[in-house]
């Protein structure tokens, strides 16, 4: 069963984040920055660890530094994904995986 929420430690409390609210996740050094419309959360993990520990179908790695929530994608072209006001690069290595997750007609 795919989890619909994650609990992230912030300010000494575990805060609930709905998976549907995650816009994207970016690698920032030895941390991840989980971006939601209202606030960002830092997690001490790398992208591979995050995906392995949280196998959520809508969260797909699209670049060596990015995971995107497919449910938040507004549009995309050959190089970028657009989610809200954010422009997220698509890595050549990850393009096929992204295209498998998106339904195109």
Span 79-105, pLDDT tens digits: 999 998 999 999 999 998 899 888 765
Gap between the Cα atoms of 100 and 104, Å rounded:
9
Q: Output the pLDDT for position 1.
A: 60
Span 7-54, pLDDT tens digits: 998 889 999 999 999 999 999 888 999 999 999 999 999 998 998 998
Q: Domain boundaries in the chain?
A: 5-101
Answer yes or no: is pLDDT of 67 > 80.
Answer: yes
CATH superfamily, region 5-101? LytTr DNA-binding domain (2.40.50.1020)
From 54, 52, 20, 51, select the one nearest 37 (Cα to Cα).
20
* Reported pTM: 0.90
Q: Output the pLDDT for position 21.
A: 96
Structure tokens at 84: 């809200």
From 67, 63, 23, 60, select the one nearest 45 (Cα to Cα).
67
DSSP-derived pairing of the beta strands 40-43 and 24-28? unpaired
């Amino acid at each position: 069963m795919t989890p619909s929420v994650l609990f992230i430690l912030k300010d000494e409390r575990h805060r609930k984040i709905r998976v549907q609210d995650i816009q994207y996740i970016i690698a920032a050094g030895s941390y991840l920055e989980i971006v939601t419309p209202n606030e960002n959360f830092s997690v001490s993990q790398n992208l591979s660890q995050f995906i392995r520990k949280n196998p959520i179908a809508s969260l797909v790695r699209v670049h060596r530094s990015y995971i995107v929530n497919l449910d938040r994608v507004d549009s995309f072209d050959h190089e970028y994904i657009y989610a809200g006001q954010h422009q997220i690069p698509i890595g050549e290595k990850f393009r096929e995986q992204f295209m498998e997750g998106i339904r195109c007609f």
